[in-house]
Amino acid sequence: MSDYFTEIEAHFARRRGTPFILNAKDWALMKSWSDAGVPLPVVIEAIDSVFDKNEAAARKRAINSLSYCKHAVTELWSERRELHAGATDAAPEESPAPLLAALAAELEGSEHEIVRAFGARVRELEREQSVPRIEERLIALEQELFDALLAAGDADALREEVRRAIGGAKLDEKTRARTEEAHLRRAVREQYALPRLTLFR
C-alpha cells in the first residue's frame, strides 16, 4: 500500500502548489483511510473537491493539513459505498462486470500495444464477484502495467524529469524517494493517458 500513501502525499502537495511534508497526524489519517478500505481514487477526488471549493470561495483559507479533507473523504466514501454495495466479500447487489468491461475497453482503445494487452487481463476479472478481491487484483495489475511501460520506455529520462520538477525542495531522503515515485507514476499515467485501474471512479 506504499503507493497509496505516496500518491496522496504528492497529490496534496501538488494541489497546494508547493512541496509539502505531511505530519504524523496526517499519516495517521491516511492509515485510517487505508485500514477502512477507502480506495485511492476516492481520496484523490475528495482532496480535489476541497481545493476546488476553496479556490472558488471569496475568502480563501490556507489548507495546510490533510485533516481539512477528512470530512470530504468520509462523505464521498459513504456515497460510493452505497453505490458499490458489494464492498465486502459477499457478492455485490450489482455485478462489477459492466464496470470492468468499461475499464477494459478504455485500455483496449489505447494507441500503445502494452496498454491494450492489459485490457484482456482486466476482462478476466469479470468472473469475480468480490469487490475487495477485484480491487486487489486491479492494484497489482496497475503496478505491472507501470513496470512494463517503464521497462519499454525511457525510464531514466522520466526519472530525471521528475527530479527536475521536484527541484531543490528540502526533503529528507525517504520523503524525497516517496515523492519522486509518486511523481513518476503520475508522469507515466499522463504520458500514456492511463485510466486508474479501480472500480471506484
Confidence of residue 170 (pLDDT cuts 50, 70, 90): low
Per-residue pLDDT of 76-133, as tens digits, reads 988 877 655 544 443 444 678 898 999 999 999 999 999 999 999 999 999 887 887 8
From residue 19, give the alpha-carbon distance in Å to each of 4, 10, 118, 165, 182: 18, 8, 34, 10, 13
Domain boundary among 58, 83, 108: 83
* Cβ pair 10, 36 in contact under 8 A: no
Q: Which of 64, 83, 102 represents a domain boundary (last residue)? A: 83
Domain check: are 157 and 107 in the same one? yes
The domain in which residue 193 lies consists of 91-201
Q: How many domains does the chain have?
A: 2
**Phi, psi for 17 (deg, rounded to 5):** 90, 5
C-alpha cell at 142: 496497475
Closest CA to 100 of 3, 195, 1: 195
| 39 and 135 inside one domain | no
Shared domain for 106 and 194, answered yes or no, is yes
